[in-house]
């Protein structure tokens, strides 16, 4: 397929997906970003890098994760045949570990001796702390104070894994502020520190390399659905905060025009209320955290607070490749509310015996709207990208249950 | 339009002294007091004024400037208001250069063409946009220079000889040497290390070099003024605003006077070692 007919050739050499992406960082970081780009380009051409990556995914993460038919959910919705991609069964309980394995291997190639990361829900923080324990590297995780409160189990896990969790008290004390603080740490410790970004955002080459590490999700789905059904799926659905699980699922299918791709943003209390995290649905293009993308912002270009019951989706931006796929119309982006996600969380638990994280509960809430109107031979794959154990306290609180 | 930055550095060279560059955040602690602070700066000793355009997510700034940005935003500061402040200042002072410093998103949101038109009209002389490296020159640097507004570059200890040429390619006005790798206001570079870095950079450019990040006291200002063309003080001044919000203009003026005395006391090689 030639370049003009593919959705998979981005980014260009300056890190642009259409007009999105790029490298909007302070001069102190530029030499590092360029260095990382060089090392990643070399690593991605190096078979030994990928064989080490794949070996760790298989024997440490437990991949491939199953593609599971969901019989009772399918029956309840009464339409499309629904499959779950079970990335919640990965070691550490979410898709985040795929990317962390890739980045820590890069950090080792670059002879870096210290790892930093930002985290929202804590899944990326736990995954980063895990690979740091596995490779014996010191790890500092920045986490907003608000998120620390609502994700206590993950905070404790990170500490058990030997990571230092630094509470972030600036701004709104959530994911975007944790990212600001991680960038400040990086600027101050450029010599020895590698920043493991948790999603397909940030300055080039992060959006591309995180996508490449997460693409294992979509590549496996392709193989598994061919084996199970003998053909490609009709629809793929994934939730989106920064968008790494969705990009990992979608990317291998971008050039299959018959596969419908749907990203589900967090609608919080409803997009019309202004208290949400739906950057594509209700934001506009701007520049933050090293890239141009859709952002929640006011008329003066100040970044608005995001809101979601799910800490992992509580981010006012989105990966630049999603921004581009939105504009060119290859992927549809929708949003569901906190309440809808909660209902889906309970439904999945009751009907399938799977406790999903609140993040993929958003994807399932959209599947609930979509599936009933689709025929029984319509193959729908939803990325169940994380498990819900970390969310039981938030869910209990939302349901008015005291634990 | 006369170039105020060039004229000011020419005069400093003639007087054989380093300049004092003062950073304050527009709208901090509130619009009225901020206007007073700005108006008093030249009298107190500022040779060049850097005026911060507040941003909700100042990634490269330390706690003092972060807080100052949030104070200003809370008090209702907008980019339009910042430009109006500059225009008002300019009606009473046509000589002191004003450099707007901040992050790209508020300008991108305002619209680059509209911003440059309004900034030119208000009497802005230069821009320092922290998150626009040379790789992004087509965004704002080149359009700004086409309007006669200088685009001031930051160089840092990580800007090695390989990288310097691209940093300097479209730089104008002066070069801002960030004396540490880190965020604003946290540490200060050792003066002999700074002197070495300046010598290295001067082999690549004739632009005047201002040195900043972490300079708080008249003594530190004096040491940096021995070799730099100008000394930048920011976090210490916004810290003074934080300490005395009701009386910020007087507190800032007093600190600027002390810092200026420090700068003027520097023993400079081009004065034959005599202050």
pLDDT in tens, A212-256: 999 999 999 999 999 999 999 999 999 999 999 999 999 999 999
Asked whether the predicted pLDDT for residue B272 surpasses 80, the reply is: no
pLDDT band, very low/low/confident/very high, at A162 (cuts 50, 70, 90): very high
Which tens digits make up the pLDDT trace of A34-53?
999 999 999 999 999 999 99
- Could you tell me if B167 lies within 8 Å of chain A, comparing CB atoms? yes
Which tens digits make up the pLDDT trace of A283-317?
999 999 999 999 999 999 999 989 999 888 889 99
Asked whether the predicted pLDDT for residue A172 surpasses 90, the reply is: no
Please report the pLDDT score of residue B101 as a whole number. 98
Tell me the mean pLDDT in the region B51-63: 94
Are A25 and B66 a contacting pair at CB < 8 A?
no
- Smallest CA–CA separation between B160 and chain A, in Å? 9
Give percent of chain B above pLDDT 70: 94
Please report the pLDDT score of residue A173 as a whole number. 84
Whole-number average pLDDT of chain A: 95
Closest residue in B to A182 (Cα–Cα): B59
- Smallest CA–CA separation between B268 and chain A, in Å? 29
Quick one: tokens of A394?
């938030």
SS3 A85: strand
Please report the pLDDT score of residue B187 as a whole number. 63
- Contact between residue B21 and residue B233 where contact means Cβ atoms under 8 Å apart: yes
Asked whether the predicted pLDDT for residue B2 surpasses 60, the reply is: no
| Catalytic residue chosen out of the listed positions B28, B33, B61, B226 | B61
Q: Which residue has the tokens 């920064």?
A: A242
Are B105 and A14 a contacting pair at CB < 8 A?
no
Asked whether the predicted pLDDT for residue A5 surpasses 90, the reply is: no
Q: Examine the residue annotation and report whether B131 is marked as an active-site residue of this protein.
A: no
CA distance linking residue B245 with residue B239, whole number of Å: 10
CA distance linking residue A20 with residue A241, whole number of Å: 17
Give percent of chain A above pLDDT 70: 99
Please report the pLDDT score of residue B273 as a whole number. 40
Asked whether the predicted pLDDT for residue A2 surpasses 60, the reply is: no
Query: Residue A164's beta-bridge partner residues?
Result: A140
Please report the pLDDT score of residue B158 as a whole number. 85
Q: Where are the beta strands (DSSP E) in chain B?
A: 19-25, 48-52, 98-102, 126-129, 150-151, 153-155, 175-178, 209-212, 230-233
Please report the pLDDT score of residue B240 as a whole number. 96
Q: What angle do CA A29, A34, A39 make, to 5 degrees?
A: 125
Please report the pLDDT score of residue B3 as a whole number. 92
Residues of chain B neighbouring A183 (CB-CB closer than 8 A): 59-60
Tell me the mean pLDDT in the region A146-165: 92
| DSSP-derived secondary structure for A165-205 | EEEE-STTSSHHHHHHHHHHHHHHTTTTEEE---SS-SSTT
Residues of chain B neighbouring A301 (CB-CB closer than 8 A): 55, 79, 105-110
Which tens digits make up the pLDDT trace of A65-103?
999 999 999 999 999 999 999 999 999 999 999 999 999
- Could you tell me if B14 lies within 8 Å of chain A, comparing CB atoms? no
pLDDT band, very low/low/confident/very high, at B1 (cuts 50, 70, 90): very low
Whole-number average pLDDT of chain B: 93
- Could you tell me if B133 lies within 8 Å of chain A, comparing CB atoms? yes
pLDDT band, very low/low/confident/very high, at A171 (cuts 50, 70, 90): confident
Please report the pLDDT score of residue A221 as a whole number. 98
pLDDT band, very low/low/confident/very high, at A1 (cuts 50, 70, 90): very low
Tell me the mean pLDDT in the region A115-122: 92
Residue A327 buriedness (CB in 10 A; 0-12 / 13-18 / 19+): middle
Quick one: tokens of B18?
């380093």
pLDDT band, very low/low/confident/very high, at A3 (cuts 50, 70, 90): low
Give percent of chain B above pLDDT 90: 83
CA distance linking residue A217 with residue A253, whole number of Å: 11
pTM over 0.90: yes
- The complex's ipTM works out to 0.94
Tell me the mean pLDDT in the region B264-272: 76
CA distance linking residue B42 with residue A46, whole number of Å: 59
Please report the pLDDT score of residue A151 as a whole number. 84
- Contact between residue B212 and residue B178 where contact means Cβ atoms under 8 Å apart: yes
Q: Which residue has the tokens 């642009």?
A: A16
Tell me the mean pLDDT in the region A24-29: 92
pLDDT band, very low/low/confident/very high, at B243 (cuts 50, 70, 90): very high
pLDDT band, very low/low/confident/very high, at B188 (cuts 50, 70, 90): low
Interfacial residues of A (vs B; Cβ cutoff 8 Å): 14, 22-32, 170-171, 176-177, 180, 183-184, 187-191, 285-290, 292, 295, 297, 299-303
Residues of chain B neighbouring A287 (CB-CB closer than 8 A): 103-105, 108, 131
| Interior/surface letters B109-129, b for 16+ CB within 10 angstroms, e for the rest | bbeeeebbebbeebbbbbbbb
């Amino acid at each position: 397929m030639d370049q003009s007919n593919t959705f998979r050739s981005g980014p260009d050499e300056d890190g642009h997906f259409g007009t999105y992406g790029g490298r909007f960082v302070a001069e102190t970081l530029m030499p590092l970003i360029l260095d990382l780009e060089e090392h990643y380009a070399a690593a991605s051409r190096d078979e030994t890098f990928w064989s080490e990556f794949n070996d760790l995914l298989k024997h440490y993460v437990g991949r491939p994760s199953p593609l599971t038919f969901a019989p009772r959910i399918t029956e309840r919705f009464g339409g499309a045949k629904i499959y779950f991609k079970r990335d919640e069964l990965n070691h550490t309980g979410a898709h985040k570990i795929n990317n962390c394995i890739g980045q820590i291997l890069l950090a080792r190639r670059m002879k870096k001796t210290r790892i930093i990361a930002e985290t929202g829900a804590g899944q990326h923080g736990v995954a980063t702390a895990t690979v740091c324990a596995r490779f014996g590297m010191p790890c500092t995780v920045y986490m907003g104070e608000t998120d620390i409160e609502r994700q206590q189990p993950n905070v404790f896990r990170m500490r058990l894994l030997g990571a230092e969790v630094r509470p972030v008290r600036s701004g709104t004390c959530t994911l975007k502020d944790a990212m600001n603080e991680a960038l400040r740490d990086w600027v101050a410790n450029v010599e020895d520190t590698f920043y493991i970004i948790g999603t397909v955002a940030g300055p080039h080459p992060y959006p591309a390399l995180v996508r490449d590490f997460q693409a294992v999700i979509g590549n496996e789905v392709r193989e598994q659905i061919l084996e199970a059904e003998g053909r490609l799926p009709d629809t793929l659905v994934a939730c989106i905060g920064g968008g790494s699980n969705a990009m990992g699922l979608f990317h291998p299918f971008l050039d299959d025009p018959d596969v419908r791709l749907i990203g589900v943003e967090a609608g919080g209390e409803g997009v019309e209320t202004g208290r949400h995290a739906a950057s594509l649905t209700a934001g506009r293009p701007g520049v933050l955290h090293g890239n141009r993308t859709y952002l929640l912002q006011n008329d003066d270009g100040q970044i608005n607070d995001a809101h979601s019951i799910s800490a992992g989706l509580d981010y006012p931006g989105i990966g630049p490749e999603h921004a581009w796929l939105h504009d060119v119309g290859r992927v549809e982006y929708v949003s569901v509310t906190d309440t809808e996600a909660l209902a889906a969380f309970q439904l999945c638990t009751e009907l399938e015996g799977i406790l999903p994280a609140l993040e993929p509960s958003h994807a399932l809430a959209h599947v609930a709207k979509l599936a009933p109107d689709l025929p029984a031979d319509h193959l729908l794959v939803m990325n169940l990208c994380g498990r819900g154990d970390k969310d039981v306290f938030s869910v209990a609180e939302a349901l008015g249950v005291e634990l | 339009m006369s170039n105020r930055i060039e004229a000011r550095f020419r005069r400093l060279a003639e007087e054989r002294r380093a300049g004092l560059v003062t950073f304050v955040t527009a709208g901090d602690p509130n619009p009225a007091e901020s206007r007073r602070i700005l108006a008093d700066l030249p009298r107190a000793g500022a040779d060049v004024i850097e005026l911060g355009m507040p941003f909700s997510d100042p990634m490269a700034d330390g706690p003092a400037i972060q807080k100052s940005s949030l104070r200003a935003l809370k008090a209702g500061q907008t980019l339009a208001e910042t430009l109006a402040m500059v225009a008002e200042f300019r009606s009473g002072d046509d000589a002191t250069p004003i450099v707007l410093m901040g992050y790209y998103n508020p300008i991108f949101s305002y619209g680059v063409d509209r911003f440059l038109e309004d900034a030119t009209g208000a009497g802005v002389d230069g821009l320092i946009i922290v998150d626009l490296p040379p790789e992004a020159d087509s965004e704002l640097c080149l359009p700004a220079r086409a309007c006669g507004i200088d685009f001031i570059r930051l160089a840092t200890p990580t800007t090695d000889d390989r990288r310097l040429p691209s940093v300097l390619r479209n730089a104008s006005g002066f070069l801002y040497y960030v004396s540490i790798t880190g965020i604003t206001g946290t540490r200060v570079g050792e003066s002999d290390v700074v002197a070495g870095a300046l010598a290295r950079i001067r082999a690549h450019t004739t632009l005047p070099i201002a040195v900043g990040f972490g300079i708080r006291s008249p003594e530190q200002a004096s040491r940096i003024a021995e070799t730099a063309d100008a000394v930048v003080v920011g976090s210490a001044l916004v810290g003074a605003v934080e300490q005395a919000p009701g009386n910020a203009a007087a507190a800032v003026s007093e600190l600027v006077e002390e810092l200026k005395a420090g700068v003027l006391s520097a023993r400079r090689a081009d004065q034959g070692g005599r202050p």
